[in-house]
Each structure stands twice: as structure tokens, then as C-alpha cells.
Amino acid sequence: MNEQRRLSIAVIGLAISAAVIGQPAYAQAGAKPQSQETTVDGVTAEIVEAVRKEGVLTLKVRYRNTGSAPAKVGIFGSESNYYLTAGSTKFLILKDSKGVSLAVPRGYHGDLTAEIKPNGSFLFWAKYPAPPAEAKKVNFYNPHTPPFEDVPITEAK
């Protein structure tokens, strides 16, 4: 192989690597993320990823404001409104040793209102007990959308 061809292949490999690094798991796998309308005008929600690592599943959901005015999305109220199911098992958000939810930080009283500018977004994340290894998908329930069903679980590397 001549030197110019080898250099071209290396440059293409670097370009592909750069395009993939930092993208959500669904983008790397070539899948389209699940997206749904929310109960807030102009705001959609999409699953960014559901990653299982060392007995914990981290779920990320991006709320996007596609409207022309700022939007407010009330996050929490009760953390039991944000849960997963796998088969017939329900999984609630994990808590640390002080009883604080392992999720997007909230205010003193446990509430959070995400104020999303037009064309802006807000990232919700939470950690759950991971379903058994044989579970390859989960369902995500929240007060803003219909259930997200059959969300693929990615194994952390």
C-alpha cells in the first residue's frame, strides 16, 4: 500500500472516530432515539440512553423546546413518578446513604422547574437498580409523556 493511500485511510478513520465520540449510545449504534410529545406545548422528550454498569442503570432523557417561547417543565414533585419496568418488576430511582435521589439535582423542597429557552434543551438523568442481565429493554414512565416502551439497554464498556 502506498504512503498516500495509507494516510487517506488514517484520515478517514480519524474523521469517523471524531464523528462518533461524544454521541449518545443510540447514535453510535445507528438507531433512532425514541421521541414523544410532552404535556408542555412545544416540548418533546427523547431517550438519550439507558446504560447498565455494575448493577446500576443510568437513564438520560432530553427535553427539547421546539416552540418559539420559553417553556417550563416541572421535574419531579414525586420521584416515584419517574420509574422503569422490566417484565413485571418496577424500579425506582436509587438514593444515596443520606436518602438523596441519585438524579438530576433539585431544589431544597425536592422540586425542579426546568426553564427551556426556544430551541434549547434540558437533560434529565436518574440512576436505577439495573434489571437482570437477561433484560435487554426497559419501559420508562414519567408524568410528561406516554410511556417510553422497549428502550434498549446498552452495556457499559
Please write the tens of the pLDDT for every residue from 54-74: 999 999 999 999 999 999 999
> What residue has cell string 406516554?
146
Of 60, 57, 49, 61, nearest to 24 by C-alpha is 49
Q: Which residues contact 92 (CB under 8 A, 6 or more apart)?
A: 79, 80, 83, 128
pLDDT in tens, 80-93: 899 999 999 999 99
CATH code given to domain 33-155? 2.60.40
| pTM reported for the whole predicted model | 0.78
Domain ranges, ordered by start, for the chain: 1-31, 33-155
Q: Report the distance separating Cα 110 and Cα 93, nearest Å.
A: 14
Give me the count of residues in the chain.
Answer: 157
Other C-beta atoms within 10 Å of 32: how many?
A: 9
User: In the chain, what percentage of residues exceed pLDDT 90?
Assistant: 68
Of 43, 32, 36, 54, nearest to 152 by C-alpha is 32
Per-chain mean pLDDT for the chain: 83
* Per-residue pLDDT at 9 exceeds 80: no
Burial of 48 (0-12, 13-18, 19+ CB in 10 A): buried
Burial track 105-137 (b if 16+ CB lie within 10 A, e otherwise)? ebeeeeebebebeeeebbebebbbebbeeebee
